[in-house]
Structure 1
Amino acid sequence: MDDAPISRFRSDITVGAEKVLSILADNILVDGFHLVVDLEKSHGSYMVDALQGKEYLDCYSYFASLPIGHNHPKMRTDDFRATLIRAAGSNPTNSDVYTREFGAFVQIFREFAAPKEFPYLFFVAGGTLAVENALKVAFDWKRQKNRAAGIEGGGDKILHFCEAFHGRSGYAMSLTNTGPAKTADFPQFDWPRISNPKAHFPIDEEEMVVAEAASVAEIEQAFDADPMGIAAIIVEPIQGEGGDNHFRSEFLQQLRRIADKREAMLIFDEVQTGIGLTGSMWAFQQLGVTPDIVAFGKKTQVCGIMSTDRVDDINTNVFHVSSRINSTWGGNLVDMVRAARYLQIIEEEGLVENAALSGELFLGELLAIQESFALVTNVRGRGLMLAFDLPDAAQRDQLRELCWDAGLATLGCG
Structure 2
Amino acid sequence: MSHTPTRSDFDQYMTPNYSPQQVIPVRGEGSRLWDQEGREYIDFAGGIAVNSLGHCHPVLVNALKAQADKLWHLSNVYTNEPALKLARALVERTFADKVFMCSSGGEANEAALKLARRWAVEHHGEHKDKIISFSQSFHGRTFFTVSVGGQPKYSQGFGPVPGGILHATYNDLDSVRALVGDDTCAIMVEPMQGEGGIVPATPEFLQGLRDLCDAHDALLVFDEVQTGVGRSGELYAYKNYGVVPDILTSAKSLGGGFPVGAMLTTDAIATSLAIGTHGSTYGGNALASAVALAAIEHIDTPEVLAGVKKRHELFREHLETINRKHGVFQEIRGMGLLIGAQMAPEYEGQAKDILPLAIDEGLMALIAGPNVLRMAPSLVIPEADIEEGMARLERAIAKLVAKA
Same fold per TM (> 0.5)?
A: yes
Q: How does 1:289-328 map to 2 (within 5 A)?
A: 289-301=243-255, 302-309=260-267, 311=269, 316-318=271-273, 321-328=274-281
Q: Measure how far apart 1:84 and its partner are.
A: 2.7
2:108 equivalent in structure 1: 130
User: What is the SS of the residue equivalent to 2:367?
Assistant: coil
The reply on whether 1:144 has 2:122 as its aligned counterpart is yes
Q: May I ask how many residue pairs the two structures share in their alignment?
A: 360
| Residue 103 (structure 1) aligned to one of 84, 87, 94 | 84
Partners of 1:167 and 1:394 lie apart in 2 by 23
> Which has more radius of gyration?
1
Unaligned runs of 5+ in 1: 1-6, 8-14, 148-152, 198-211
Give a deviation string over 1:347-385, Cα, whole Å, max 9, x none.
468322211111122112223333343321111121111
Give a deviation string over 1:95-117, Cα, whole Å, max 9, x none.
22122333333344445xx41x2
User: What is the SS of the residue equivalent to 1:26?
Assistant: helix
Does structure 1 conserve the Cα–Cα contact (< 8 Å) formed by 2:234 and 2:305?
A: yes
Partners of 1:144 and 1:269 lie apart in 2 by 23
Partners of 2:307 and 2:177 lie apart in 1 by 40
- One-letter code aligned to 2:352: D
Give a deviation string over 1:109-143, Cα, whole Å, max 9, x none.
445xx41x211111011211111111111111111
Are residues 105 and 217 of structure 1, via their aligned partners in 2, closer, same or farther at CA, if it must alter by over 3 Å? closer
Give a deviation string over 1:48-98, Cα, whole Å, max 9, x none.
21x221111111111111110112233444x7513234333xx211x2212
Are residues 348 and 243 of structure 1, via their aligned partners in 2, closer, same or farther at CA, if it must alter by over 3 Å? closer
TM-score normalised by the chain length of structure 1: 0.80
User: What is the SS of the residue equivalent to 1:290?
Assistant: coil
The reply on whether 1:34 has 2:22 as its aligned counterpart is yes
2:127 equivalent in structure 1: 154
2:377 equivalent in structure 1: none
Does structure 1 conserve the Cα–Cα contact (< 8 Å) formed by 2:192 and 2:201?
A: yes
Does structure 2 conserve the Cα–Cα contact (< 8 Å) formed by 1:369 and 1:376?
A: no
Are residues 246 and 101 of structure 1, via their aligned partners in 2, closer, same or farther at CA, if it must alter by over 3 Å? closer
- One-letter code aligned to 1:52: E
Structure 1 range deviating more: 257-266 or 336-345: 336-345
Partners of 2:20 and 2:152 lie apart in 1 by 18
Partners of 1:281 and 1:133 lie apart in 2 by 21
2:305 equivalent in structure 1: 352
1:409 equivalent in structure 2: 364
Unaligned runs of 5+ in 2: 370-404
Give a deviation string over 1:255-296, Cα, whole Å, max 9, x none.
000010011100010001101111111111101211111011
What value does the CA root-mean-square deviation take over the aligned residues?
Answer: 2.3
> Counting strand residues as a fraction of each chain, which structure ranks higher?
2
| Residue 398 (structure 1) aligned to one of 345, 349, 353 | 353
1:47 equivalent in structure 2: 33
Are residues 62 and 121 of structure 1, via their aligned partners in 2, closer, same or farther at CA, if it must alter by over 3 Å? same
Q: How does 1:54-93 map to 2 (within 5 A)?
A: 54-77=39-62, 81-88=65-72, 91-93=73-75
- One-letter code aligned to 1:220: R
2:98 equivalent in structure 1: 120
User: What is the SS of the residue equivalent to 2:38?
Assistant: coil
Are residues 240 and 348 of structure 1, via their aligned partners in 2, closer, same or farther at CA, if it must alter by over 3 Å? closer
Partners of 2:88 and 2:242 lie apart in 1 by 27
TM-score normalised by the chain length of structure 2: 0.82
| Residue 250 (structure 1) aligned to one of 172, 196, 204 | 204
